[in-house]
Amino acid sequence: MDELDALRLMRTGLALEEPPERLAQRIDWRDERDARDARDDGAKERPRRGLRLRLRPRVPLLTLAAATVAATVAIALVAAQDDEGPAPGPGGENGPRPGNVLLAAAVSAQKAPSGKYWHVKTVSGEVYAVGKSASKHYKVDSRQGNEMWTDRNGLRRTAHIELPDIPLTAADRRKWQAAGSPEWVDVPNPEGGGEAQLDMSASSTGRSPAPPSPDERFYAMTPRQIAELPTDPKALENALLGLKDYWRAVSKDGVGPEPMRALRGEERVRALTDVAGTLLSTAPAPPEVRAAVFRMLANQPGVRDEGQTTDPLGRRGTAVSLPLKTTTALGVYTAPKQLGTYRRQFILNPDTGTLLAIRDLVADPPRGSRKLPPGDDGQPRSLRAEDMPDRFHRSGELASYQAFAVTEWTNTEPPH
């Protein structure tokens, strides 16, 4: 799903509130828009203009200790045969599934050429409501871009692409223009403490290369381990069930990384589809593994074909929905900071075997409030529905996304 981390992202509904002391141990409460996504695209901190805050899409953020654990946990790539699969999702085992679409995508993915580098270009966005009321507001797409080249040894080169925030639709653009086309627009700070601003100026563009990262991991898997994943869909699922991480939206106090196979029902489906999204996008999976991922998804209960749609970059594709009513991101950082719930879609092109985008739609708009641990100044804080970016969204409206403008194996050398 930085990127919807990314996005967004988006996972399972909060069943209980995690104790603040537990959050304080494993969560850095800095604004997530100043942090690098620990799993994905490595967006770098962007410059600020004075005291004005340039907001970023939500990303999960591991503390140093948690990141160290995630990078060193054992991975059972050849796992024991699991004796209990996911419980049936909505619609039951015989409900509608997008088998034909996903299986067609698998055939196309398997025919794709290989190469020296896995090249990915992403655009991630989060939709903010600008205005004071549901009847008088417009929506702005706050965007970030990244471009990455990863070789088979795990060396990654990344460039962060600065993008201006833009009105979401033509109607939103007319409202923004009627307001005088301001270059900076005010939005509530989701964490409280006054207002923040979105940068809509045409000058907020640029490209910032980052130093090479020599040992890139994806859910603690190296590119070599990803290349060795099984190409049989059931065997692939069984291998992924051995991955250890913080899979649950809310973790119990004292519980560290655990194998995915410890999950059941929708929690397991959510975790599997999370890893599947990474293997189909930012991870350097070879064509045969990508094909197996599509076939594995086709076997998951409750996964549905929702027909033709347009992705956030304007490309036509097929929407495949996951059987989850979700909050964002796995409880490591963002899930405890959500007051609404969301449902996730993959948008894919079966003819090319590519994942075009991951899109998160509002299921239940935010409501109520929740306490947060004190800020750096020691003052109490809380989440409030009136401060959420999607406070005026209706069910079914876009909340956030991660679009993949380029996903390809290439022999072209990356720029230095």
pLDDT digits (tens, 9 = 90+) for 364-373: 999 998 877 7
**pLDDT at site 405:** 97
The whole-number average pLDDT for the span 211-218 is: 92
Least confident piece of the model among 80-94, 285-299, 357-371: 80-94
- Once rounded to an integer, what is the mean pLDDT over residues 156-178? 95
Q: With left for phi above 0 and alpha for psi between -120 and 50, is residue 193 left, alpha or beta? A: left
For the chain, give the percent of residues with pLDDT over 70.
71
Choose between 274 and 193: higher pLDDT: 274
- pLDDT band of residue 382 (cuts 50, 70, 90) is confident
CB 23 within 8 A of CB 336: yes
**Structure-token pair, residue 361:** 């739609």
Q: What gap in Å lies between CA 35 and CA 5, rounded to an integer?
A: 11
Averaged pLDDT for residues 377-391: 85
Backbone angles phi, psi at 358, to 5 degrees: -115, 125
pLDDT of amino acid 379 = 79
pTM of the model: 0.76
Tell me what pLDDT residue 350 has.
95
Among 83-87, 143-147, 248-252, 374-378, the range with the most confident prediction by mean pLDDT is 143-147
Mean per-residue pLDDT for 183-188? 93
Query: Who has greater pLDDT, 189 or 305?
Result: 305
d(CA 23, CA 26): 5
Q: Looking at residue 222, what is its pLDDT?
A: 96
Residue 251 has what pLDDT?
A: 62
What does the alpha-carbon distance between residue 401 and residue 4 come to, in Å, rounded to a whole number?
Answer: 6
Structure tokens belonging to residue 219: 């859910």
For residue 4, pLDDT over 70 is answered with no
Mean pLDDT of 344-366: 94
The pLDDT value recorded for residue 247 is 84
Flag whether pLDDT at 173 surpasses 90: yes
Confidence (pLDDT) at 287: 97
In the predicted model, is pLDDT for residue 105 greater than 90? yes
Is residue 87's pLDDT more than 60? no
At residue 163, the pLDDT reads: 92
pLDDT value for 174: 97
Q: Residue 358: which of 35, 99, 100, 126 has the closest Cα? A: 126
Mean pLDDT over each residue of the chain, to the nearest integer: 76
* Burial class, 178, CB count within 10 angstroms (exposed 0-12 / middle 13-18 / buried 19+): exposed
Q: Is the pLDDT of residue 330 over 70?
A: no
Mean local confidence (pLDDT), 10-20: 31
Residue 254: the pLDDT is: 67
Residues comprising the chain, all counted: 416
| pLDDT attached to residue 253 | 62
Of the listed ranges 65-74, 119-128, 156-165, 301-310, the least confidently predicted one is 65-74
